[in-house]
Structure 1
């Protein structure tokens, strides 16, 4: 019998999603982590702006940072607006950081953000995954399987 699926995170409003991550990586473990944001960054996310398409996370000095994510400046912000592409600290406890650091160093895995969303309490969260990169032949195999399932569905509909 297979391993039970983890409980899904409480995603009320998804702001940004990294759809390419599931194509490029095998997701092994997922975490729901907080993100440290400036005032206008929260406002920009609530409007629905933001992108994590080419971003990744890294462990640096016992802290985890989200790198290369883009939250554009808030349109109604003044001179106190935030920098769009800055490193943002992710909020995890020490044990989780040690586990992520070990996975990256020993096993050669990558930390990939899957989505940024607001939970039911109104807090901005990041769904962070420990992932293993796919090779080119693995990606081709996934595409073949997806095409076959689509074609099989068409054939089944045509027969009925």
Structure 2
């Protein structure tokens, strides 16, 4: 597990994306990037988060930023999820968990006393210079997308 901090270079990745093809962090060099990690497509919190980021997509674009969601789900699941909920942001599949581990979000979790490995809902704001500008760990979804948008606007 990685303990990334603000100011560090964001770990690079090249992973399959919804709709086909590969998405890399370097595709967006020079732009602020909102990279958010979520546990699973089509669950209550993850759906709400994706809808919130999609609803604000235009404002993120106006601020010069791109929003990317990442989970260990397959691109096939991402495609279904996007279509079902009209999600308008890029979703990346990290089935091998390489980026999830590089960003330190693949962690031990506990539910009803049972321990298991899963994604800790986390958002990274990566500045134009490719360095981590801000990190939100153990994200609570309500109001989160708006808070991230304000942080993107503050980068200017």
Task: Give TM-score scaled by structure 2 length.
Answer: 0.29
Task: Give TM-score scaled by structure 1 length.
Answer: 0.29
